[in-house]
Amino acid sequence: MILTVTLNTALDLTYAVPALVPHSSHRVTEVTERPGGKGVNVARVLSALGHDTVVTGFAGGATGAVLRRLLGALPHGPADALVTVGGNTRRTLAVADRSTGDTTQLNEPGPHIGADEWAAFLRTYGELLPGAEAVALCGSLPPGIHVGAYAELVRLARSAGVPVLLDTDGEPLRRGIAARPDLVKPNADELARLTGAREPLRATRDARRRGAHSVVASLGAEGLLAVTPDGIWRAAPPSAVRGNPTGAGDSAVAGLLSALAEGLGWQDRLARAVALSTATVLAPAAGEFDRAAYEELLPRVTVEQHASAA
């Protein structure tokens, strides 16, 4: 079983409009809703790849009930181990501009989590860890959760002997990486905020020196850059693609995590992550991945290894 943690789950709403024009009224041509939050997105991809997956984190209120209903309705979807809270789960609103392919995102902050709710989550997390092959800690922290929460969860996973991947931003990333996760997956902007460096290789090396066993950086259309104990790796799709990038980073996390759980080496991990993220950009629905595109892309991803991670 692969465990994903989403402390700030969300009900993802997508509005499609012919063209997004500031300061004007719009007629929405299509509305979609799905269970969201980074770890939930990762779990949905893992389940689609055939992995036994469990989702934990928080859900509450009317929005949380809708999220759980949608999660339960997914065919062969992840198991629900979410902890019920008193506050209302947040919503995220994506406005997709059909004329340009661009997406504008609006994210609510999430419900306030009390001390007793955090304690209930820690009990659930502790009960799930012994059965996990790997765990992903993903996304933002809701109000009320202390900034060192991910560092605490990394240490608990390491104590249980479970490989742990961290995908977050800001101070939670800074604290979490110092707890020595097995893998950290930031994007270029998150790396720059963490290290102060804009050059990708320098920033990725710096991030690894802060405590992570390995760091895989998302570089958008350029693919992935990994600094690992086995050296430096670069992986890229065979060609640039256009589409909706929503969820592409989460699909990359799913690719890395699934390959880790299967015991695959870095070349296969990175190829799977790039193929999945690219297939997500190409998918008609935001946050999904195009399986046919994924299978066609996988053998054509370019993965190059460099000698040293020093």
Residue located via tokens 């984190």 = 57
Amino acid in position 54:
V
The pair of structure tokens assigned to 151 is 């560092």
DSSP 208-223: HHTT-SEEEEE-GGG-
Rg (CA), the chain: 18
Q: Please answer whether residues 119 and 94 qualify as being in contact, where contact means their C-beta atoms are separated by less than 8 angstroms.
A: no
Q: Show the CA angle centred on residue 301, arms to residues 242 and 41, nearest 5°.
A: 60
Q: Residue 270 gets which letter from DSSP? A: H
User: Does the annotation mark 80 as catalytic?
Assistant: no
Q: Show the CA angle centred on residue 34, arms to residues 289 and 248, nearest 5°.
A: 30
> b/e for 35-69, b at 16 or more Cβ within 10 A?
bbbbbbbbbbbbbbbebebbbbbbbbbebbebbbe
Report residue 89 CA to chain centroid gap. 18
Q: Please answer whether residues 48 and 74 qualify as being in contact, where contact means their C-beta atoms are separated by less than 8 angstroms.
A: no
DSSP 156-208: HHHHTT--EEEE--HHHHHHHHHT--SEE--BHHHHHHHHS--SHHHHHHHHH
Catalytic one among 12, 167, 182, 250?
Answer: 250
Classified as helix, coil or strand, 285 is coil
Active site residues: 250
